[in-house]
Amino acid sequence: MKLSDSTQRYGTLTQTLHWLSAVLVIGLFGLGLWMVELGYYDDWYHDAPALHISFGLVLAALTVIRMLWRAVQNGSPPLEGSRVTRAGASASKIMLYLLLLFMAVSGYLITGADGSGADFFELATLPSLLTLGSDSVDLLGELHEWAAWGLILLAAGHGLAALYHHFIARDLTLARMLPFTQTGEHNERR
């Protein structure tokens, strides 16, 4: 399998970044929902947020790498479907990236709001950019939560659209993003 994308399928790097990001989005969403319900005396009260921050930083880095990789790609598979379907797919992809970036920035600002940095798996600490008052942190926390719900719903729609393309439209949209699948030299219906 090729590292870079072609007009027939996504390359190994794009597929790896995509699926790692998907796992992280789902995992961070679940961890975020769980950790905000923890009480002060729960064993995971400090450890869960630390994991959320560290894996959030990993997702932020993957998002930047994905965007840079996408910018230098010469070709990638064309979108399938009608003009409206393709426009919807493009818009949802842009929204996914914007939400991922917002989640990264807002999470980083919340983490460093008191002047402390964002600890990365106890290996390094990224410095705080600015300190925020409690009202600003609360507002940013609410926006972070709403954006998380928007991201997970949009990602679910993205997944359902891929399944629609695979099982109903019977085109190669999903197969192009799956490792170990053959898409052939040209884009023909199965």
pLDDT at 57 over 50: yes
User: For 83-124, what is each residue's pLDDT tens digit?
Assistant: 999 999 999 999 999 999 999 999 999 999 999 999 999 999
Q: What is the pLDDT of residue 112?
A: 94
Q: How many domains does the chain have?
A: 1
Asked whether residue 97 is domain-assigned, the answer is yes
**By C-alpha distance, which of 178, 25, 160 is closest to 88?**
160
* CATH number of the domain that residue 59 is part of: 1.20.950
Q: Which of 111, 86, 78 is nearest to 186 (CA)?
A: 78
What is the rounded distance in angstroms from the CA atom of residue 162 to the CA atom of residue 171? 10
Please report whether residue 5 resides in a domain.
no
Q: Is residue 19 part of a domain?
A: yes
- Residue 29 domain-assigned (yes or no): yes
150 domain residue, yes or no: yes
Q: Quick one: pLDDT at residue 83? A: 95
Range of the domain at 134: 12-177
Q: Is the dihedral of CA 100, 55, 25, 152 positive or negative?
A: negative
Q: Looking at residue 184, what is its pLDDT? A: 56
Average pLDDT rounded to a whole number, residues 153-179: 95
3 belongs to a structural domain: no
- Kindly report the pTM of this predicted structure: 0.92
